[in-house]
């Protein structure tokens, strides 16, 4: 009996074509994880900058929005409170985009921080 090794010609191409959707889905999920992490970083940084501005009596919401990248600005909210007990607190909420910045939103992430009041005594 003679065994022909030519029967599996093109098998690698077929297997690769079968794996392409799995590879693309994996890459899309990894990219989405990167966007979630970046959104958390942006929200935290915007809250820090807004708290610094609020601590000296400047525009808190303006400082928060100014420190968000363009696609993350839409739908972002900043709430500032204080000076209560010598502290100002800031909460910045930003929507996580779906695969492309500026498109949709999966959920909202929150950056929260506080700073010591440095302005005039209220």
State pTM to two decimals. 0.79
pLDDT for position 109: 93
Contact at 8 Å (CB) between 88 and 61? Answer: no
CA angle 68, 73, 74 (to 5 degrees): 170
The pLDDT confidence band at residue 17, using thresholds 50, 70 and 90, is: confident
Lowest mean pLDDT among 1-5, 13-17, 47-51: 1-5
Question: Which spans in 56-86 are helix H?
Answer: 60-66, 70-73
Q: Where are the domains of the chain?
A: 5-116
Alpha-carbon span 67 to 23, nearest angstrom? 35
């Amino acid at each position: 009996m003679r065994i022909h090794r030519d029967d599996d010609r093109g098998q690698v191409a077929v297997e690769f074509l079968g794996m392409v959707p799995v590879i693309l889905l994996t890459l899309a999920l990894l990219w989405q994880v990167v966007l979630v992490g970046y959104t958390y970083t942006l929200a935290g940084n915007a809250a820090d900058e807004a708290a610094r501005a609020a601590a000296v009596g400047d525009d808190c919401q303006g400082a928060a929005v100014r420190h968000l990248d363009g696609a993350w600005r839409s739908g972002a909210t900043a709430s500032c409170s204080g000076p209560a007990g010598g502290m100002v607190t800031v909460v910045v909420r930003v929507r996580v985009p779906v695969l492309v910045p500026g498109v949709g939103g999966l959920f909202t992430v929150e950056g929260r921080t506080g700073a010591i009041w440095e302005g005039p005594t209220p």
